[in-house]
Chain A
Amino acid sequence: MELFLAQLVSGLSTGGIYALLVLGMNLITLVRNVVHHGFSHTCIFTMAVGWLVYNKTGMPWLAFLAMFAAGVLVTVLSEPLFRPLSKRGADLETIVLAMGIGIILSELIVNFFNSGQVLSFNDEMKIFTTKFQVGAITVSVASIVALVACVVIAIIISTYLFKSSEGRAMRAMAQNLRVAKMLGVPFGKTGVLGFLIAGLLAACIGVICIMCLGYCNAEMGDSFATKAVILMLFAGQGDIKGGILSSILMGVVEAMALAYLPGRWAEAIFYGFMMVIIIIKPNGLFARKAKN
């Protein structure tokens, strides 16, 4: 029972991180109809920037500030690259572009940060380092704080998308770009706004990952990206609520599989399950009916 609870907390906080990753990709999907494979790399890149600034200055708050600046800069500056492709309705080319951005960010980390070694964060950056005992099990405060942070951020962004006029405009763009334009939604401005929020979110994810994991390296971008892309397609591209729910589900299942299944079968089982879902429910797990 204690093991179960501990795994539940850790699964929920990993799931929360996946949920934010998918949320960020969905924001970008709404405004530019691209699956931004490089979004996860952006999150890791903000972590690397935070590591560098802390190591140079020893000031954690400056490091966090730099992370937000990096997240916004990288994301917003990539918008003009996607814009012409999105305008002409390109699909495959955008995948190349998104992956290219991811690869470039990974190479930057390998070449310019700590000569390609793992970047470990100082306790000052991790903020919460206390752990406490529940029976025989250790629970870290950081994973609980991360979980709460994920919930709060997900609620704020979903509320923005569903209740504010700009958020509604973003969803309108995703549903029917032509109609959205006819209603006066500015293609350029609203798109940049979506990318900007995604950039802030990338930095938030970076901070949460520092708290939970305490380290990062270039490869993490790829492994996050694979999961985030699959989760996003699994829930249905642009499905905000579905993306959050399936991410949390995946986090918990992974944690449970790690604790209760022998060997390294957990991921194979989960990806197998996802493949079946994608084949039988082409519009995602939560799609009510097929669009034609």
Chain B
Amino acid sequence: MEQTNTLLKIENLSVYYGPICAVKKIDLEVKQGEIVAVLGANGAGKSTMVNTIIGLMKAKTGSIQFDGKELTKMRTDQIIQSGISVVPEGRGMLSEMTVMENLQMGVYHHKVDFNSNLEMIFSYFPRLKERQWQKAGTLSGGEQQMLAIGRSIIGGPKLLLMDELSLALSPLYVDNIFKTLVQLRNEKGFTILLAEQNARKALQYSDRAYVLDLGKTVMDGRSSELMDDPFVQKAYLGA
């Protein structure tokens, strides 16, 4: 598991919505094969960071290096093509399309064997196989989250960005989803960056974590250590 090559490196990133500063200074690194969590309260800037990585928002300062490329100078479609997939906040269903069509959209940019990857997705999420002809908009919240994850991994990306995976899911279900992620990492070697409000679960299932406060990375470390940190416990774990 001791991998050392860095896949994603964010340095001194700041992002503005007009005059409003949403991200002040993010420094962050994700190594190959890691699960890294970014924790933060509402409005800390997690989604803004995710959207800036994939080029939907433009960085004002700083750099985002991914796999030898500078992402801040690339268009979203080029960034996705270079091997990044997203599970967007709110799941991003194409609700009028079927489960199958949503999965097909997941390989829009990736030259992979759709059918064999489809079998892989169905083996992790058998529920999706049963529902493959159903419209995505009519799936339950949990099923939509499975579809969002399935759609993000079917193209075989190098890096997965997952924004608020646990949102509006029951605690038991959140455990299931995170366990599946860990399994995916162990068996398929995915690298995952999680943006999460649910600090307890995120720390439980990630290797390392960053704490984001008012648009700044204020702490980082091994997840197991952060879980015992008094400041983190007080501010994010409600202890």
Query: Quick check: A165 and B104 within 8 Å, CB to CB?
Result: yes
Q: Which one of A178, A183, A189 lies within 8 Å of B105 (CB-CB)?
A: A183
Query: Quick check: A185 and B77 within 8 Å, CB to CB?
Result: yes
Least distance between A186 CB and chain B CB atoms (Å):
4
Least distance between A133 CB and chain B CB atoms (Å):
48
A182 within 8 A of B: yes
Closest to B136 in A: A175
Query: Quick check: A176 and B109 within 8 Å, CB to CB?
Result: no
Stretch at the interface among A6-14, A53-61, A166-174, A266-274: A166-174
Interface bits A12-51 vs B (CB < 8 Å: 1, else 0): 0000000000000000000000000000000000000000
B95 contact set on A, CB distance < 8 A? 175-176
A5 within 8 A of B: no
B96 contact set on A, CB distance < 8 A? 171, 175
A179 within 8 A of B: yes
Name A's interface SS: helix
Interface size band for B:
20 to 34
Q: How many residues of A contact B (CB 8 A)?
A: 18
A171 contact set on B, CB distance < 8 A? 96-97
- Within 65-93 of B, Cβ neighbours of A (below 8 Å) are at 75-77, 80-81, 86, 88, 92-93
A135 within 8 A of B: no
Q: Which one of A165, A178, A187 lies within 8 Å of B108 (CB-CB)?
A: A165
B182 within 8 A of A: no
Query: Quick check: B104 and A184 within 8 Å, CB to CB?
Result: no
Closest to B50 in A: A182
Q: How far is the CA of A192 from the CA of B41 in the complex (A)?
A: 41
Closest to A166 in B: B108
A185 contact set on B, CB distance < 8 A? 77, 108
Nearest 3 interchain pairs by C-beta: A184-B80, A184-B109, A186-B77
A residues lining the B interface (CB < 8 Å): 165, 168-169, 171-172, 175-176, 178-187, 189
